[in-house]
Amino acid sequence: MDTVELLRTLVAFDTTSHRSNLELIRWVAGYLRAHGIEARLVHSDDGAKANLLATIGPQVAGGIVLSGHTDVVPVDGQDWHSDPFTLTERDGRFHGRGAADMKGFIAACLAAVPSWCGLKLQRPIHLAFSYDEEVGCFGVPRLIADMRAHVPTPALAIIGEPTQMRIGLAHRGFYGHRTTFRGRPAHSGDPALGISAIEPAALLIAQLGRLGRTLATRGHRTTFNVGLVHGGTAINIVPACCEVLWEFRPTDEAGTTLVRREVERMLAAVAPDVTVETAQLAGVPALAAGDDGLAVDVARALGALWPPGELPFGTEAGFFQQAGIPALVCGPGAISQAHQPDEWIAASELDAADGFLRGVGTWATGQDATA
């Protein structure tokens, strides 16, 4: 099967994040098994989803990880001109949910498997396909833990998010939180009998905004957003509870530490009669540009575009970097198409990915990938 046919098959699996990805994962495992490759499945706690980890080549250190997520965002409320889960070609573009983000990359990886199997590989090629990236990268930490337990340390990881095959070396992280304030209800005719939960919540919101502006004036690129506030029951009742959903996006670990310290200071100043609880809903570490010389050299030799592009989105790359595996982002398709109605990937982008992955096979034989 070529890349387009494989993409057609993958798009047909509705792996929207609130659904299971097991049908797709099992199909991929069967495809690999037909080529003599056994895949490891690492399931979520409830068993409804799974990561897939497979190795082509020798079980030695120094290989390359090709990482992608199998889940996609919803199509609800979007104006599609064709069935989102049926790959449709129009004017050199292949439309379908996940075509760009990021089943196109996974399809290209799978299309390369038969040729990789025919080579005398000296370095392994690891396929790492995860679940629930779109809702917080919940699958990849478990995948990486399993990789560290069963796979000799790879030399680099390439995360195939859509960059139009341009190298991405850095992106901000994402940390989402729910902070819940609990006070005491009372009739608003005598508010002193109650303790408002909304007032300290409003103070937190204002302070987050002030912190963001202060950091910006100091040259920090960490951003904040308060996405949802819910509290109170009626206009004439002192509110007993208020929830604030908020997030911040740091550029590095130092920024993460700074924000956590400041927020702890803010919440410590809340009135003693108000109970405050903060739960982290999602945590995606930043990818920090650093000593990734080997990863860059390999990617450039394989045909990835340079200079590196700005990445306005988060990926799984920061998790690999935290695990001590140099990582970068490079894959087919445009991020501007991700999450959009009539999402598409250009045929030329799939062709570029095919060429890149042929080079991966050459590199894994120990030869010069540019020869």
SS3 of 49-69: the string is: CEEEEEEECCCCCCCEEEEEE
Cβ atoms of 339 and 94 within 8 Å: the answer is no
How far, CA to CA in Å, does 232 sit from each of 62, 197, 202, 228? 56, 8, 13, 14
Residue 129 CA to residue 116 CA, distance in Å, equals 18
How far, CA to CA in Å, does 309 sit from each of 103, 164, 210, 312, 328? 21, 10, 30, 10, 11
89 is catalytic: no
Residue 282 CA to residue 140 CA, distance in Å, equals 12
How far, CA to CA in Å, does 338 sit from each of 20, 119, 120, 162, 290? 20, 34, 37, 8, 27
Residue 154 CA to residue 152 CA, distance in Å, equals 6
Catalytic residue of the set 14, 76, 101, 133: 133
Per-residue tokens: 97 = 């949910």
Cβ atoms of 264 and 208 within 8 Å: the answer is no
Catalytic residue of the set 71, 252, 342, 343: 71
133 is catalytic: yes
Q: Which residues are catalytic?
A: 71, 133
